[in-house]
Structure 1
Amino acid sequence: MPDDSDDPDGPLFDDSVGRLVRPYTVSDGRTRPTWHFDLMTMVVATGTVLRSNLGLDHAHVLELCRTPVTVAEIAGHTRMPATVIKVLLSDLAERGAVVTRPFNTGKQGPCPGPDPDLLEALRDGLLKRL
């Protein structure tokens, strides 16, 4: 059996069945973020070193925020509900590890727009669930 210790999805994700840990376990059962985020809120890491260990899912979300990214993109990459991502981002924002920026349509500004391929895949996935 291959060693999954270096795999960020590790034993928590199985391609054939999906996530093996309930998403709300990741947020300690919390369903309401303490900060306001919508799906198109741009989030970026500040570079602040966290003094406390929040867990692997927080670390994964923080890694995705190295470059500006939308909440929807983070949810797509992690395969977790946006509500859970908003709770994790709230934890990170409270500790100064991430900041939010207005969504940029790509005209000008510091934040690039979201990946169109990812947004299309997200839309297609949502349509399949309807």
Structure 2
Amino acid sequence: MRGESPGTPHQWLDDDAGPVVRPYTLTGGRVRSSHRFDLVAYVLAEPDADPTGHPDLQPEHRRLVALAARPVPVAELASDLDLALGVVRVLLGDLLSRGLITVHQPPAATNLPDNDILKAVVDGLRAL
């Protein structure tokens, strides 16, 4: 970062690099969320969600609530905010704990076919 003179209005910006705020500063140093979020889980803001009622939330939290006005996957939120997935998961955990969002996890794949059946299908396809 270039040398800063007193009174520089944008101390967190660098002309060449852009914003230089480390991801862990957004999460308060946390690297894991208190909740588990699948990449393809859909996030939806609660209809009465008002992040302005929570002064301790950061702008990224508020942006997540705004983006989740419609159902949106966790991976897309990370892409839209241009943040690491781990950071977005921590921020989403904060919002979920405050009741500002709901998360719809994909159904678990519990009814997978037996390996013997899959091998028989592959063998049958090879025989064609």
Q: Based on CA coordinates, which of the two structures has the bigger radius of gyration?
A: 2
Aligned residue pairs total: 95
Shift of 1:15: 9.2
Change (3 A) 1:71 1:16: farther
Structure 1: 4+ residue segments shifted above 6 A = 10-15
- TM-align CA RMSD: 2.5
Provide structure 1 residue ranges, at least 5 long, that are not aligned to the other structure. 1-9, 105-130
Pairs within 5 Å for 1:1-130: 17-46=17-46, 47-50=48-51, 51-53=53-55, 54-103=57-106
Task: Give the percent of matched residue pairs that are identical in Structure 1 and Structure 2.
Answer: 35
Question: Relative to 1, partners in 2 of residues 1:85 and 1:98: Cα closer, same or farther, differing over 3 Å?
Answer: same
TM-score (normalizing by structure 2) = 0.65
1:5-49 CA deviation, whole Å, 9 max, x = no partner? xxxxx9867796354211111011100100110111100000322
CA distance in 2, matches of 1:76, 1:82: 8
Seen in structure 2, the aligned counterparts of structure 1 residues 29 and 67 have a Cα distance that, compared at 3 Å, is same
Query: TM-score under structure 1 normalisation?
Result: 0.64
Structure 1's 85 and 70: CA in aligned 2 closer, same or farther, altered over 3 A?
same
8 Å CA contact retained: 2:40, 2:74? yes
Give the Cα separation in 2 of the matches to 1:15 and 1:93. 36
